Amino acid sequence: MTKFHKTLTAAAAALAMGAAGLAFAANPMVGGAEMFPDKNIVENAVNSKDHTTLVAAVKAAGLVETLQGKGPFTVFAPTNEAFAALPAGTVETLLKPENKDKLVKILTCHVVGAEAFSKAIMKMVDDDKGKHPVKTVGGCTLTAMYEGGKVMIADENGTVANVTIADVDQSNGVIHVIDKVLLPKM
């Protein structure tokens, strides 16, 4: 191998390693944990210290297998703080077996049966002149909007959640971390 070929091979290897590092680094950290694009929504969510309540709720609702499925899904994932902001006792009540149907409804109102990264959401909002209706797998209609490059999602009651961490790529979709729990029409 000539010196030129060795240099070219070394440069290509360095470029490939750099590109792999960039691809790997593209996913934001969530709850102090790396989020791996080759893992599914549940496999990544269980590692986020900011989503322990959501993970417990998904388990109690029997939705683990669904969210490990092929997808694609877009999940608007409320943080522990978002759940803590609900009226006292709400989470504990929802986690009781007799309230499973209500819990499933609330959680599935955070899931869209398509993959939508923030850039695509903003384009849909622009196409609809400022607000875009979003149908969830739970039968809710959320409203997407954005301001200054930050996506916001309103539930059917007018509660607006801010996307605090966008575009967390998953093997079966995408997660957007939000600061409020979205609720079905009450």
Task: For 80-115, write each residue's pLDDT tens digit.
Answer: 999 999 999 999 999 999 999 999 999 999 999 999
Q: What is the pLDDT of residue 94?
A: 95
CB 67 within 8 A of CB 54: no
pLDDT at 29: 87
The number of beta carbons lying within 10 Å of the beta carbon of residue 186 is 6
Whether the full predicted model's pTM is greater than 0.75, yes or no, is: yes
Q: Which pLDDT score is estimated for 26?
A: 74
Contacts for 11 with CB less than 8 Å, ≥ 6 apart: none
Collect the ranges in the chain with pLDDT lower than 70.
1-25
Domain ranges in the chain are: 3-178
pLDDT score for 129:
95
pLDDT for position 1: 53
Contact 106, 163 (CB under 8 A): no
* DSSP element (H, E) containing 177: strand 173-178
Q: What is the pLDDT of residue 186?
A: 74
Inter-residue contact 83 to 53 (CB < 8 Å):
yes
CATH class assigned to 3-178:
mainly beta
DSSP 97-125: GGGHHHHHHHHHTTEESS---HHHHHHHH
Is residue 132 within 8 Å of 158, Cβ to Cβ? no
